[in-house]
Amino acid sequence: MRIVNDFKYERPGTLKDALVILEKHQGGAVPLAGGTDLVVNMKHRSMLQLFPNAGTPDAKFEAAKFVQPALAPEVVVSLASLSELEGIKTGADFVWIGPTTTMARIAAADDLPAALGALRDAAGSMGSPLVRNRATIGGNLVNARPAADGAVALIALGGIVELASVDGTRKEAACDFITAPGCTTCSTAELITGLSVSVGPDQGSAYVRHGTRRQLEIALVGAAVWIQLEKASGTVKDARICLGAVGPRPMPADGAAKTLLSKKPDKEAIARCAEAAVKEATPIDDFRGSAGYRSELVDVLVRRALEKAVERAKGAS
């Protein structure tokens, strides 16, 4: 069993206290919600991480420049007592989700509007039941992995990320929040305090993924689609698509989504959209699959997600 570094544990009782701790330690403190990534990363050590300046341009060996530095925080800040960061609230035209809400709770929320179908799909497909009972939607987003199921879905839904620090609050579009693998616009003194999504009639969304195993495996490719239909004509009024694991971050496929506008979402339109999404994707070859295979998966998964999203939108009048 790998042992983590020595650290101080804090469990603040209020959001304000948590933000003060993060500000005080200037990057030396990390928030703990579900811990399904944090604790694993704190235990992880590789040979390359043992070299001085690993993960920086000053590393002794070239390969060591590109590894993530070993995670050894001075302070771990538990969010367990901050009840205001957990839960789901549904309004007339929006849904708010607390960042410490577990994937299991989201997956089981069968009263969510059809517009949020993609998020339920993503939450239900992540990890195993054990992982979903601990992992949180905020953690999935802030970890900023290219294949992060929840992040891909939130971007397709046009989600808004709410953040707070001792200096105040701000909002960021989910599509702009992740900047690179493992990197976001969230500073070390900020916490995600909420995720909000606008909803309305005739909207539907879906998330579909493929991996070498059904569970306990990150997606080889993921595709999330959100669509809004014109009730009278049945044509597409608006659409968004986001692809996972085919770029350095969850990637909006805006060009593909535009091919659907003012069109009836029939098989021909869906096929044309999927082909456009393949052209926007930038997959790589790695040990899990070739770029060519991933491109084929983009075509198949976008079609499937679109068909499911359209079906849900038609039932959401």
Both tokens assigned to 120: 């339920």
* Three-state DSSP class for residue 175: helix
Per-residue pLDDT at 232 exceeds 90: yes
- 275 and 214 in a common domain: yes
How many angstroms separate the CA atoms of 18 and 14, rounded? 6
- 126 and 23 in a common domain: no
One DSSP character per residue, 207-221 reads EEEE-SSSSSS--SE
How many angstroms separate the CA atoms of 181 and 22, rounded? 23
pLDDT tens digits for range 101-119: 999 999 999 999 999 999 9
Domain count for the chain: 3
Average per-residue pLDDT for the chain:
92
Given a contact cutoff of 8 angstroms between Cβ atoms, the answer to whether 316 and 201 are in contact is yes
The radius of gyration of the chain's CA atoms, rounded to the nearest angstrom, is 20
- 175 and 138 in a common domain: yes
Q: Comparing 47-51, 86-90, 96-100, which segment has the lowest mean pLDDT?
A: 47-51
Per-residue pLDDT at 283 exceeds 80: yes
Give the pLDDT band of residue 216 (cuts 50, 70, 90).
Answer: low
Range of the domain at 255: 203-314
In a domain, 86, yes or no: no
User: Tell me, what's the pLDDT at 67?
Assistant: 67
- 304 and 210 in a common domain: yes
In a domain, 3, yes or no: no
pLDDT tens digits for range 143-183: 999 999 999 999 999 999 999 999 999 999 999 999 998 88
Give the phi and the psi of residue 59 in degrees, each rounded to 5.
-60, 145
> CATH no. for residue 283?
3.30.390.50
- 210 and 187 in a common domain: no
- 100 and 188 in a common domain: yes
Q: Give the ranges where 102-244 is alpha helix by DSSP (H).
A: 103-107, 117-125, 129-132, 137-142, 149-156, 174-177
User: Tell me, what's the pLDDT at 263?
Assistant: 97
Q: Is 307 left (phi over 0), alpha (psi -120 to 50) or beta?
A: alpha
> CATH no. for residue 118?
3.30.465.10
pLDDT tens digits for range 236-270: 999 999 999 999 999 999 999 999 999 999 999 99
In a domain, 225, yes or no: yes
User: Tell me, what's the pLDDT at 230?
Assistant: 96
Per-residue pLDDT at 294 exceeds 60: yes
How many angstroms separate the CA atoms of 120 and 105, rounded? 9
In a domain, 187, yes or no: yes
pLDDT tens digits for range 35-80: 888 888 778 766 667 677 777 778 777 777 766 666 788 899 999 9
User: Tell me, what's the pLDDT at 2?
Assistant: 63
User: Tell me, what's the pLDDT at 58?
Assistant: 81
In a domain, 1, yes or no: no
pTM reported for the whole predicted model: 0.91
